[in-house]
Amino acid sequence: MVNKDEIKGKVEETTGKLTGDDSKELKGRVKKEFGKLKDEAEEKVDEVAGKINKKFDKNKDDK
């Protein structure tokens, strides 16, 4: 899923390319990659939370 940071980064990167502003282009790339990493971290958190919930549910069912 594309998040707000990825979109902002892509816009800033493209603006930098079109205007020849290397600094803006680089900032956009960094922001875009940050957004991707944030998405990956959120997915991992969800995955771990799901495993923890399964474990608690299993333990509750065993009682």
* Residue 49: pLDDT over 70: yes
Q: Average per-residue pLDDT in the chain?
A: 91
- Identify the residue with better confidence: 58 or 32: 32
Q: What is the pLDDT of residue 59?
A: 74
Q: What is the pLDDT of residue 63?
A: 59
Q: What is the pLDDT of residue 21?
A: 97
Q: What is the pLDDT of residue 60?
A: 72
Token reading at 18: 């079109």
Kindly give, in sequence order, each residue whose CB lies less than 8 Å from that of residue 14, ignoring residues fewer than 6 positions away: 28
| 34-47 pLDDT tens trace | 999 999 999 999 99
What is the sign, positive or negative, of the torsion defined by CA atoms of 35, 37, 43, 48?
A: negative
